[in-house]
């Protein structure tokens, strides 16, 4: 699957996906990386891996829709079949989502539907939950609200800080995102409304 990745930040999830691809354990081709932030670490990681990287700085556009139009054209030109959000800090508008006719996935550092949005790990600590984790889900028009593909729990320790909890969740994210994308690429993800079923070997035709 020809895959584009959008990232706004340091890009550790992007790097994990690139590394898994390079090791032959992820049957996708990352053909393009994009960001809304010119200095994003993710852009450097893409360049180091020889993947074309492109910036769509929001300040270059008069309207949000114009930025999204450029992203849509960029994906079309790259014949993208799968879009992965990896720390992309903007919500794709309903208009943008309506123009995308292939899967869009996101990773979020909590067990959704708990703690959507920013600072999910801080929200978890402030709430006082004993277990948090991460979620890979399909993107829909809402905020971290699409159908869930995979989740994995991470215990919250009494001595945890936002930093320590984030680090432990991140280590799981790096594995879980590749696991979910692999299942999708192998045709093992079946979606019925909000429910996502992972097909077992014997269920595959």
Q: Site residues (CB under 6 A) for ligand GRF?
A: 7, 9-13, 86-87, 107-109, 170, 173
Residue nearest to ligand GRF (CB): 87
- Bridge-based pairing state of the strands 53-55 and 82-85: unpaired
> 82 or 136, CB closer to ligand GRF?
136
Q: Is 137 a catalytic residue?
A: no
From 108, 119, 137, 174, active-site residue? 108
Give the sign of the dihedral formed by CA 189, CA 192, CA 196, CA 198.
Answer: negative
Q: How far apart are CA 23 and CA 175, in angstroms?
A: 13
| Shortest Å, Cβ 67 to ligand GRF | 19
| Shortest Å, Cβ 116 to ligand GRF | 11
Buried b (16+ CB within 10 A) or exposed e, 127-157: eebeebbbbbbbbbeeebebebbbbeebebe
Maximum CA pair distance of the chain?
52
| Shortest Å, Cβ 177 to ligand GRF | 8
Q: How far apart are CA 37 and CA 53, in angstroms?
A: 12
> 11 or 75, CB closer to ligand GRF?
11
Neighbour tally for 160: CB within 10 Å: 18
| Shortest Å, Cβ 183 to ligand GRF | 18
Q: How far apart are CA 184 and CA 6, in angstroms?
A: 18
Kindly list the catalytic residues. 108
């Amino acid at each position: 699957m020809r895959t584009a990745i959008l990232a706004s930040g340091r890009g550790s999830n992007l790097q994990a996906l690139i590394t898994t691809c390079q090791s032959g354990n992820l049957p996708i081709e990352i053909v393009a990386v994009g960001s809304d932030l010119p200095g994003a670490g993710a852009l450097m990681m893409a360049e180091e891996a020889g993947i074309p990287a492109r910036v769509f700085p929001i300040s270059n556009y008069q309207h949000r829709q114009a930025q999204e139009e450029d992203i849509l054209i960029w994906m079309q030109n790259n014949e993208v079949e799968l879009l992965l959000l990896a720390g992309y800090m903007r919500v794709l508008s309903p208009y943008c989502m309506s123009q995308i006719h292939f899967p869009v996935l996101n990773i979020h550092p909590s067990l959704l539907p708990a703690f959507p949005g920013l600072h999910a790990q801080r929200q978890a600590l402030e709430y006082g939950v004993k277990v948090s984790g991460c979620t890979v889900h399909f993107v829909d028009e809402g905020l971290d609200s699409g159908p869930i593909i995979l989740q994995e729990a991470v215990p919250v320790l009494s001595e945890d800080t936002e930093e320590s909890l984030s680090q432990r969740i991140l280590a799981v994210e790096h594995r879980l995102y590749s696991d979910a994308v692999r299942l999708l690429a192998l045709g093992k993800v079946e979606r019925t409304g909000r429910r996502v079923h992972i097909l077992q070997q014997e269920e595959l035709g």
